[in-house]
Amino acid sequence: MTDLTTIPKERLMADLKRVVADAEHLLQATAGQASADVADLRSKIQGTLAQAKANLADAQHVVVDKAKEVGRATDDFVHENPWKSIGVAAGVGLVIGLLIGRR
């Protein structure tokens, strides 16, 4: 079952990756500019971009670790309570069937 909070997180991660890629393209496009202001701006952007990449990688690791943790907890619960798990799955299936049947 997909947690509704993961959808915005995944969308945010994809958006951040796009921003990082666009910033890298901008840095490549301005590589030939020689003015001091452009050089300073490029330096600042490169530092910010490096930090954003590191933060994005950290966030990805946290999300993956949390997903693994939830998966292990679910697996443990199902192994410890197989009949409860079957009952819950049947109940969820019934509710989904009733909701689909109303359409």
For residue 71, is it within any domain?
A: yes
Burial of 2 (0-12, 13-18, 19+ CB in 10 A): exposed
By residue range, what is the domain housing residue 72? 6-101
Asked if residue 1 is part of any domain, the answer here is no
pLDDT tens digits, one per residue of 5-47: 555 777 777 777 788 787 777 777 777 776 777 777 777 777 8
- Number of structural domains (the chain) is 1
Q: What is the pLDDT of residue 7?
A: 57
pLDDT band at 94 (very low <50, low <70, confident <90, very high): very high
> What pTM was computed for the model?
0.48
In a domain, 53, yes or no: yes
Residue 85 lies in a domain: yes
